[in-house]
């Protein structure tokens, strides 16, 4: 198979299905990256946070679907990216379920899972593209796997602490928004 160039970037496969999946994958990845950052940086209340989170979830779902298509077409080259995408989308849906089902300590589960999903999204990007990125191209390949988590995990812990979602923290009665009739189920 020959590679073709799109917008100055060489694609690893010229088949139309692969190229279409790749273009959709890139668009969904960019959408999820921006929406995830907006959700993470916005106040945790109705409005921007849940809207951006829903867009993030949809984007990550499309990223996983397109990663699956591309991995099937180039399994020996992309199987590890399929695994990253599967873990990433699973974490995002787990975080969504924790919030929408009102699980015990849902804030902890939701924030942790969504944050780790965002780390997974960035890890997949850097593992696949790090050797072609300025500055990243000078790092050892193992760093593409480790740097997103090394930066992201402390930020997740900081966000959980800031939003009083770490276990053992005392909470006030009015701290939690209603979830489909459930009130203060954090316990």
Contact in structure between 74 and 25 (CB atoms under 8 Å): no
Cα 180 to the chain's mean position, in Å?
Answer: 25
Prediction pTM value: 0.83
Please state, in angstroms and as integers, the Cα–Cα distance from residue 17 to each residue in 70, 71, 74, 102, 124, following that order: 9, 12, 12, 40, 21
Q: Is residue 178 part of a domain?
A: no
**Tally of domains in the chain:** 1
Tens digit of each residue's pLDDT (9 = 90 or more) over 124-181 = 999 998 988 899 999 999 999 999 999 999 999 999 998 888 887 555 555 555 555 5
Q: Is residue 181 part of a domain?
A: no
**Domain membership of residue 70 as a residue range:** 5-162
* Token reading at 112: 């942790």
Tens digit of each residue's pLDDT (9 = 90 or more) over 7-66 = 566 777 778 899 899 999 999 999 999 999 999 998 888 999 999 999 999 999 999 999
- Which residue is associated with the tokens 């990550």? 60
């Amino acid at each position: 198979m020959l590679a073709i160039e799109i917008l100055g970037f060489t694609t690893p496969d010229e088949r139309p299905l692969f190229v279409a999946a790749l273009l959709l994958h890139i668009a969904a990845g960019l959408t999820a990256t921006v929406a995830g950052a907006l959700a993470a940086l916005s106040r945790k209340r109705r409005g921007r946070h849940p809207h951006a989170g829903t867009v993030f979830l949809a984007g990550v779902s499309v990223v996983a679907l397109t990663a699956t298509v591309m991995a099937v077409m180039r399994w020996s080259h992309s199987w590890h990216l399929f695994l990253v995408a599967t873990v990433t989308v699973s974490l995002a849906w787990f975080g969504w379920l924790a919030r929408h089902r009102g699980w015990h300590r849902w804030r902890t589960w939701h924030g942790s899972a969504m944050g780790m999903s965002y780390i997974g999204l960035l890890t997949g990007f850097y593992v696949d593209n790090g050797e072609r990125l300025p500055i990243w191209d000078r790092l050892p390949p193992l760093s593409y796997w480790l740097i997103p988590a090394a930066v992201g995990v402390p930020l997740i812990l900081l966000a959980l602490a800031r939003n009083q979602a770490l276990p053992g923290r005392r909470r006030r009665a009015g701290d939690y928004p209603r979830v489909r009739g459930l009130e203060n189920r954090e316990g």
